[in-house]
């Protein structure tokens, strides 16, 4: 097979995009690519390394200690994954100081993750987070 020496096959798996975590005052949101990169796990563990200032998301099962409900099965997860658990929000807010947002907007911090597919883990570097504001989602309140 000297004729094909040096050639590489084209990877036919669809690229999922970048795994992104967004933290606001009321929710931690992971984009759909994050769920896809982890294999759409029903539960994850959220781990924090205080020394390296990193957050890891690890796929697990429902019986794992500190498991957090995460994704629907592949094909059913049509949007981002929102986690509103008070314990998770409290732990992450220690690392993500949110700026004041103008009226009608929400402040956030967003960070891309590094995927470790073999271990079913995604690592987010806290210090790489960017700040911003976005319009509030949901129904408008009557004035």
Tell me the per-residue pLDDT of 3-19, one tens digit each, with 9 for 90 and over: 888 887 776 655 557 99
How far apart CA 56 and CA 101 sit, in angstroms, is 27
Q: Is a pLDDT exceeding 80 seen at residue 85?
A: yes
pLDDT at 4: 80
More confident residue, 143 or 93: 93
Average pLDDT, the chain: 89
Q: Is there a contact between 58 and 44 (Cβ–Cβ < 8 Å)?
A: yes
- Helix H or strand E segment including 124: strand 121-125
Q: What is the pTM of this model?
A: 0.82
CA dihedral 81, 82, 86, 92 (to 10 degrees): 70
pLDDT at 45: 96
- CA-to-CA dists, residue 115 to 39, 42, 54, angstroms: 11, 18, 13
Q: Is a pLDDT exceeding 70 seen at residue 139?
A: no
């Amino acid at each position: 097979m000297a004729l094909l020496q040096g050639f590489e096959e084209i990877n036919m798996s669809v690229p999922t995009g970048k795994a992104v975590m967004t933290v606001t005052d009321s929710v931690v949101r992971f984009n759909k690519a994050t769920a896809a990169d982890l294999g759409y796990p029903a539960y994850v563990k959220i781990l924090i390394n205080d020394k390296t200032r990193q957050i890891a998301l690890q796929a697990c099962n429902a019986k794992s200690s500190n498991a957090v409900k995460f994704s629907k099965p592949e094909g059913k997860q049509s949007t981002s994954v929102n986690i509103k658990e008070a314990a998770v929000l409290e732990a992450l807010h220690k690392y993500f100081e949110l700026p004041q947002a103008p009226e009608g907007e929400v402040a956030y911090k967003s960070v891309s993750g590094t995927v470790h597919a073999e271990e079913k883990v995604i690592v987010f570097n806290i210090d790489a987070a960017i700040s911003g504001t976005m319009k509030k989602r949901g129904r408008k309140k009557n004035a």
